[in-house]
Amino acid sequence: SQIQDITIEETDNQETKSAKDALLLWCQMKTAGYHNVNVRNFTTSWRDGLAFNAIIHKHRPDLIQFEKLSKSNAMYNLNNSFNVAEEKLGLTKLLDAEDIFVEHPDEKSIITYVVTYYHYFSKMKQETVQGKRIGKVVGIAMENDRMIQEYEGLTSDLLKWIESTIAALGERQFTNSLVGVQQQLAQFNSYRTVEKPPKFVEKGNLEVLLFTLQSRMRANNQKPYTPKEGKMISDINKAWERLEKSEHERELALREELIRQEKLEQLAARFNRKASMRETWLSENQRLVSQDNFGFDLAAVEAAAKKHEAIETDIFAYEERVQAVVAVSQELEAENYHDIDRINARKDNVLRLWNYLLELLRARRMRLELSLQLQQNFQEMLYILDSMEELKLRLQSDDYGKHLMGVEDLLQKHSLVEADINVLGERVKAVVQQSQRFLDQETTEGYRPCDPAIIVERVQQLEVTTRV
């Protein structure tokens, strides 16, 4: 009978046991620690069905929910163990629950059935030992497979990172300001010192991983793994070289742009210095040409005219300096300087001040010319008055009383005086007409070289004198 084959490994071989005792001992060992299970025999100990369930659970805990079974529910327990053994383990159902759940179950029937459990589970254990050997080889192969997946995944990730970094490094859209480019340079340095080194370590780790993997596969009698085209170590190294090249090129481009921006800032500073000097000079000269102080006689006004010529010469010579400011602003604009709007606004202000100064200068020249003409007019009046005096003296002169002169002479002398008087009359007419101009606001653009009352008074004085 099968029962004779039962051996218990854990017992001392010297102590031979009967097959029945051996089976009982096996059952006790397998059910030790199970709540409400106490195998003392092959009869009553099995009535509630818990012992059958415990043995199955011990070997296959996935098949029985032992903690859910209750001692009082014997019929359910018995049927549960018999059904699981038949359906899941292929063990023939040799017993019926009704035959076991009695006062004195049949010992032989129970032993015969329990022996099938013993053989099934012992065989399972032997298979496990063999399985362990196979499992070890399979396990290594699976681990190698996992390492292949890891290598391929890490390689893909690293290559992706290299390509996207090359693309980013190839970007030449620099921020258009010194501060912006300095920040970009700082980001580049951070890439070099923070982001790149771990990737270099990753690259080294990939070489180690591949070497380890190939060694393990040889040791496990597997054909060593060769990475796919594009994922070899040589491919990674080539990609890395391309990365180093774009990194070098970006650094050069950044430094070049940095130098360009520094030069632009220096140029902008030069512009600001020049513009500031021009603004000061133009404002001071505005004040200068806004003051008239021409004086109140011909000599003073003539001196003022000479001085004005000198001022004009100075100011016209200054145009070159104004143009220098414009030239610097144009250079900044051509180089796409980031703060060009402010630069242009200041340049426009300098030009506005310049044009305003020229306008003031033109207006001053106009005022000065009017003043000069007025003084020349007054001077002419004085000359006329002098000539009048002279004529009067000639008329009153009794020259011709002392000498016996011919009628011819007298007539001739008279006509000469008359001619002089006519000329003087023309001069008076002209000077009065000229004076009228200084009283007419339209012709003088609203400027009055002197108080109109003075002009009126002088004209009247002249007219009175010439009437006499």
What long-range pairs does 457-463 form, CB within 8 A, spacing at least 24? 458/378, 458/381, 459/432, 459/435, 462/381, 462/384, 462/385, 462/428, 462/431, 462/432, 463/428, 463/432
Query: pLDDT digit string (tens) for 11-28?
Result: 444 343 467 888 898 999
Q: Is the pLDDT of residue 131 over 80?
A: no
Between the CA of residue 38 and those of 54, 68, 397, what are the distances in Å? Answer: 11, 18, 180
Q: What's the one-letter identity of residue 100?
A: I
The 10s digit of each residue's pLDDT in 395-413 is 776 555 555 566 666 667 7
Residue ranges of the chain assigned to CATH 1.20.58.60: 141-258, 284-467
> Residue 268 pLDDT more than 70?
yes
Where along the chain do the CATH 1.10.418.10 domains lie? 2-134
Q: Please give the CATH superfamily to which domain 2-134 belongs.
A: Calponin-like domain (1.10.418.10)
Token pair in block for residue 63? 């098949």
CATH T-level fold of 284-467: Methane Monooxygenase Hydroxylase; Chain G, domain 1 (1.20.58)
Dmax over CA atoms of the chain, in Å, equals 205
CATH class (in words) of the domain with range 141-258: mainly alpha
Q: For 215-261, how does the pLDDT look when each residue is reduced to its tens digit (9 = 90+)?
A: 988 888 888 889 999 999 999 999 999 999 999 999 999 999 999 99
